[in-house]
Amino acid sequence: MNELTLVEKLFAGLDFPAWTLVALVYAFIGWFYESTIFSLCEQGKFMDRGVFIGPLCPIYCMVCTFSYDLFHPVEEWWLLIILAGTVTSIVELITSITMEALFHKRYWDYSYFPLNFDGRISVVAGLFFGVALTIMVKWIHPGLSAVAKSIPYNVRLIACIVIWVIFVTDMIWTTIGNMRLNKPIAAAYDKVIAWKQRRFDAINLWKSKVEKTAPIRAFRFLLAKGKAMNRKLVDIENKIKGKDKKDKK
């Protein structure tokens, strides 16, 4: 077995261009999950939950690739779930505080989950991400890495440069648009966001036409039951917290 270079040790066993390609996949998967499954469960509709203009959630690629660096030596699946869930929750907490300080709004809120901290992180969400990262570390990342490495180096290097140019441009444009630092750029940003919203409105219109089918009705029934149970747990937790506060007084 060849010894890994310093770059490969830092970037989940990959050279930087290959890591960029894999990270792009993780960022898109994160955006897709947040905008479809999570949005449907939370709000009952498709929503663009990405921070940037492009369909990417960079926090997912950072957590996935660096979690692989941290956790791939762990063999016990239960320990891996706990460790990955804990690290993800810490990253979520830091990211939530930072983004709220920069953009003056929250991009997620776990207040409706039991065992949450200030709505920023939750034990439920932490366990979900712990399981997801365990699957990623054991099966998904090795497969994606093999595909990325199979691409000729010069090709993936060019792709890497293009991806980073687009991403940095998007990041700068999003920051200026959100913070209203330049009126023309902010106005152009608002137009793009409005265009994206119209696309999601069209998707939700299509959803309304198919949600009366039997499979969707069954899913919505189970989802409603799950939400009702979750609300009861949150109410019980809030009552316990209220009682503890009274006892301390």
Query: Please, what is the end-to-end C-alpha distance for the chain in angstroms?
Result: 63
Instruction: Please answer whether residues 130 and 1 qualify as being in contact, where contact means their C-beta atoms are separated by less than 8 angstroms.
Output: no
Nearest to residue 134, comparing CAs of 193, 198, 216, 78? 78
The answer to whether residue 89 sits within a structural domain is yes
Q: What is the dihedral of CA 29, 97, 166, 178, to 10 degrees?
A: 120
How many degrees, rounded to 5, is the angle at CA 166 between CA 146 and CA 169?
A: 145
How many residues are given for the chain? 249
Tokens matching residue 185: 């750029």
Nearest to residue 20, comparing CAs of 143, 146, 148? 148
The answer to whether residue 232 sits within a structural domain is no
The answer to whether residue 122 sits within a structural domain is yes
pTM of the model: 0.78
The residue range of the domain holding 97 is 6-210
Instruction: Please answer whether residues 21 and 158 qualify as being in contact, where contact means their C-beta atoms are separated by less than 8 angstroms.
Output: no
The answer to whether residue 67 sits within a structural domain is yes
Nearest to residue 85, comparing CAs of 72, 67, 98, 73? 67
The answer to whether residue 246 sits within a structural domain is no
The answer to whether residue 51 sits within a structural domain is yes
Kindly provide the b/e burial profile for residues 67-85, where b requires at least 16 CB atoms within 10 angstroms of the residue's own CB: bbeebeebeeeeebbbbbb
- Structural domains in the chain (count): 1
Tens digits of residue pLDDT in 12-46:
788 999 999 999 999 999 999 999 988 887 788 89
Q: What is the pLDDT along the chain (249 residues), one digit of tens a residue?
A: 456 676 676 677 889 999 999 999 999 999 999 999 888 877 888 999 888 999 999 888 888 888 888 888 888 999 999 999 998 899 889 989 998 888 788 878 888 888 888 889 999 899 999 999 999 999 999 999 999 999 999 999 999 999 999 999 999 999 999 888 888 999 999 999 999 999 999 999 888 877 777 777 787 788 888 888 888 888 888 888 776 666 665
The answer to whether residue 43 sits within a structural domain is yes
The answer to whether residue 24 sits within a structural domain is yes
